[in-house]
């Protein structure tokens, strides 16, 4: 798995290959010494930047469509909650005879 041209960092059951920056499961490899605090922070930051490189910014049209979907979902959920509130208020008034 490890060639002379690429460096591999092992942390627990995960392996980060320096050549591609990808993190993969370490299959059956012997355990190595645990990284110290600062090495773990550096590894975490490398992984964060690796993930940020994969992010694709949506186009304006996609952004408007996604915003419309979210706002539509919020309106539907508000209607559901409002309906349930009215239903439960009516049930409490019928069961307990509480005047409105």
Quickly list DSSP for the chain.
---TTS-EEEETTEEEETTT--EEE--SPPP-PPP-HHHHHHHHHHHHHHHHHT--PPPHHHHHHHHHHHHHHHHHHHHHHHHHHHHHHHHHHHHH----
Tens of pLDDT, residue by residue over 11-63, are 556 666 656 666 666 665 566 688 899 999 999 999 999 999 999 999 999 99
At 3, list the tokens: 């060639």
Using the predicted structure, report yes or no on whether residue 4 has a pLDDT greater than 60: no
* Dihedral in degrees, nearest 10, Cα atoms 18, 21, 24, 26: 20
Cα–Cα distance measured from residue 76 to residue 52, given in angstroms and rounded to the nearest whole number: 33
């Amino acid at each position: 798995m490890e060639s002379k041209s690429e460096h591999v960092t092992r942390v627990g059951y995960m392996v980060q290959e320096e050549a591609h920056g990808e993190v993969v499961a370490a299959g059956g490899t012997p355990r190595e010494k645990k990284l110290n605090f600062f090495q773990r922070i550096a590894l975490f930051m490398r992984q964060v930047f690796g993930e940020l490189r994969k992010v694709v910014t949506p186009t304006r049209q996609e952004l408007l469509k996604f915003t419309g979907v979210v706002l539509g979902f919020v309106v539907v959920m508000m209607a559901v909650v409002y309906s349930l509130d009215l239903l439960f208020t009516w049930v409490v008034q019928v069961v307990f005879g509480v005047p409105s």
